[in-house]
Structure 1
Amino acid sequence: MSPWPSFGDEVVLRSIDWLENFPWRNENSVRAENNKYEIFLHLKDFTPEEISVKTSDGYIVVTGQHEEKKDEYGFVSRRFVRRYAIPEGCLPESVESKFSSNGVLTITAIRQPVIKRDTIIPVSHEGSSGVKSKL
């Protein structure tokens, strides 16, 4: 019998999930706040000219592509497409993107506060003579 306690697959998988979510990992992330929506993409293998950001049909669409390049192992070409739904309150016209010198693409959309106002709906009334009147 092993001196080490045995762990079920579920415990191991939860541990892996916990480790994978550390903020210092170079993973893509999305942050939704009250006043803005931000997307962070680590794209160090691309130049700004190889990246495209646009809005289409309620989505932010990010594409990147570069032709075949030589690296230390041989040749490589890359292409990706990512789509993110534009959240409620964000105008597609407000979307901006910036590419940092360390290869992080930041996409920001400003959120407009959603103002919910009361709506008064007039009640129409039919009198006994069949003539409609508004109260």
Structure 2
Amino acid sequence: MSLWPSNQNLFGDEVVLRSIDWLENFPWRNESSVNAERDKFEICMRLNDFKPEDISIKTADGYIVVKGQHEEKKDEYGFVSRQFVRRYALPEGCRPESVESKVSPNGVLTITAARQPVIKRDIVIPVTHEGSSNPKSKL
């Protein structure tokens, strides 16, 4: 006699989905969301384990780089230290100088960047002639 009913697949979708739900709620998993709208780019991260002074944000090579690190702390199980680095591509139309951030009282870090619409238009580029003092000379 089998421990598992014959009609239940041991590694079926239901088991996998329950495993994913369990991992989703793990305390070390930082939740984040990215919202790209027409006029702004926004990143929200839940960082309950970090104080604002534990977080650094910079722009580098077309990315927003978010780092968090806190020193070793005592908790109910012993000692713990945490650190993370996340990079988000800065979308087209967002200037690195426009990036701003704030942390809410409940530990949600919000990073926003103003987004300027990119206007694509034809540009006529004049051709210059090198080595000739007569601009009407033939090539």
The TM-score range, normalised by the shorter chain, is 0.7 to 0.9
Gaps of 5+ in 1: 125-129
Give the residue type in structure 2 aligned to 1:120: V
Measure how far apart 1:120 and its partner are.
Answer: 3.0
Aligned partner of 2:122 among 108, 118, 122: 118
Aligned partner of 1:83 among 87, 90, 95: 87
2:138 matches 1:132 = yes
Counterpart-to-counterpart distance in 2, 1:94 and 1:35: 12
| TM-score between the two structures when normalised by the length of structure 1 | 0.75
Counterpart-to-counterpart distance in 2, 1:36 and 1:13: 39
Matched with 1:127 is: none
What SS does the aligned partner of 1:114 have? coil
What SS does the aligned partner of 1:68 have? strand
Summarize deviations over 1:33-67 as a string: whole Å, max 9, x none: 11111111111001111111111111111111111
After TM superposition, list the pairs within 5 Å mapping 1:50-129 onto structure 2.
50-121=54-125
- CA root-mean-square deviation: 3.2
2:57 matches 1:38 = no
Give the residue type in structure 2 aligned to 1:113: P
Give the residue type in structure 2 aligned to 1:131: S
Higher strand share: 1
Q: Percent identity?
A: 63
What SS does the aligned partner of 1:93 have? helix
| TM-score between the two structures when normalised by the length of structure 2 | 0.73
Gaps of 5+ in 2: 25-29, 129-135
